[in-house]
A = this chain, B = another copy of it.
Amino acid sequence: MTKTAAIIGAGVIGAGWAARFLLNGWDVRVFDPAPEATRTLEATLARARRTLPMLYDVALPLEGRLTLHDSAGAAVAGADWIQESVGERLELKHAVLREIEEAAAPETPIGSSTSGFTPSQLQQDARHPGRLFVAHPFNPVYLLPLVELVGSAKTDPQTLDSASETLSGLGMHPLPLRGEIDAHVADRLLEAVWRECLWLVKDGIATTEEIDDAIRMGFGLRWAQMGIFETYRLAGGEQGMRHFLAQFGPALKWPWTKLMDVPDLDAALVETIAAQSDAQSGHLSIADLAHRRDDNLVALLRALKARDQAAGRVLAAHEERLRPAPVAATPMQTQRRTVPVDWTDYNGHMNEGRYGQVFSDAAETVLAEIGAMGDYVARGFSYFTVETDIRYLAETLAGEAIFVESRVTQGAGKKLRLFHEMKRARDGALLATCDQLLIHVSLSARRACEPEPEVAQALARLAAAHAEAIA
């Protein structure tokens, strides 16, 4: 059954939540009284629709239904999840939460996107504080998996467990914190860096662009996959974390940061930073920057997904949940996906190599259907492709949804031959065909051999069904 999320406050963060829910098949009910809310929501949805489907090698569920409402009370009616993302003023949050509680069922979970307030602060006047917690996401909410999940002593632990499940179901990584603290975890780290950055600019050691380079050319790449502690464990070498701490502990007493003090963000410093930022990025509009950021994130997240590491693990797990069970129809639909930005070349269309990858993935679906993936591979057997003949019939662009239909044209002995047709989802246009010959192999001998009887029989059945349908 389709679930419903109520989004109260649809600025950049609220709109990001709306997109995350909607594209994962939830109906979404939005309330935001601000005049620019509709524009933000539309722009964010457009960005999310372009990029979120590119993260996965399978299709997302059918998009839910989006409706706009005139009040928080109207928006939360019948909701299975309520997400509050209004401005960071405690009185405003309290007023909105009061309105939500008047209209919502008492058991409906309410997550707050607050970056600064603790759940205890939010719960001060709550009628049903047990279902109220902090669910703090990161911009862009539709692409970044992290969401900090914080309850107080009053929050019902079961509510947090079930919230965690819901967020995982959206492809996110819920991170339950062990205690309440101002600004939670990630924003504290960001605030520390931010303060140090302000000093570096103020003291003229580096410009905003140079500081950005100091981050993204070096430790930013480490942090995208390991974080700080695992990186330092590695720096400690075989002698481990205790050795590292003994070695670098003394630096805590050295003047390596100015953070005993906070710079005054006066007009002069604001002007310096703003002017440097203009020099660095002023030639790009905010839409350009967001486009660039999103495309970079798609490429980085896909790189990590292929390695099943860090944020890529979250994606890989979500993809497995999204993967449809293969249906033994003729032809079989063996792929349904969106072409990601990292698949195009200088001609502006999908590179020929990526067609090969799509047909390779299509073959894997057939192999899964005949029981020749997973355990079978672990037991030392597989199919290797020995020849492909691909015809490229029409251009395929980044962002286009495609599907592949596959037929077994030969399936006896060591041989498996497939004929794939790749089509554009929008209009069914034929984009490419592939005649693909695979040979059954022993992975220990790395040589051709006969498949095991179950696989041989399943393959024979599939080949017969496909031959019959054609005849």
Interface residues of A (CB under 8 A from B): 12, 116, 138-139, 144-146, 148, 173, 175, 177-179, 181-183, 185-198, 200, 203-231, 233-235, 237-238, 240-242, 245-246, 249, 251-257, 259-263, 265, 270, 273-274, 276-278, 280-281, 285-286, 289-290, 292-293, 295-297, 299-304, 306-307, 309-311, 314, 341-342, 345-347, 351-360, 373, 377, 382, 384-392, 395, 443, 446
Contact = CB atoms under 8 A, between A and B. Distances in A.
A359 to B, nearest CB: 8
A68 to B, nearest CB: 21
B225 A200 contact: no
A384 B237 CA distance: 50
Q: A-side binding surface: helix, strand, loop or mixed?
A: helix
Given A192-B196, A193-B228, A293-B222, A245 B270 contact: yes
Given A223-B215, A387-B392, A228 B189 contact: no
The 6 closest A-B pairs by CB, nearest first: A212-B227, A353-B357, A146-B218, A220-B223, A353-B356, A356-B356
Given A257-B192, A299-B303, A356-B352, A175 B225 contact: no
B185 A210 contact: yes
A269 to B, nearest CB: 9
A323 to B, nearest CB: 15
A235 B12 contact: yes
Given A179-B205, A186-B219, A234-B289, 19 more contacts: A138-B218, A145-B217, A177-B205, A178-B204, A178-B207, A181-B203, A214-B227, A215-B228, A221-B301, A222-B297, A224-B300, A225-B297, A226-B293, A231-B293, A238-B286, A302-B303, A346-B373, A386-B392, A388-B389
A377 B203 contact: no
B297 A307 contact: no
A216 B286 CA distance: 24
A181 B202 CA distance: 13
Contact of A216 (B183, B225, B262, B265): B225
Contacts of A240: 274, 277-278
A256 B377 contact: no
Contacts of A289: 230, 233-234
Contact of A220 (B139, B187, B224): B224
Nearest to A313: B217
Contact of A346 (B188, B221, B377): B377
Given A145-B217, A193-B189, A228 B211 contact: yes
A238 B12 CA distance: 12
Nearest to A224: B224
A235 B11 CA distance: 11
Contacts of A190: 219, 228
Nearest to A264: B252
A212 B229 contact: yes
A324 B8 CA distance: 58
Contacts of A314: 217
A222 B146 CA distance: 12
A354 B228 CA distance: 33
A392 to B, nearest CB: 5
Given A245-B274, A310-B216, A389 B387 contact: yes
Contact of A230 (B214, B260, B281): B281
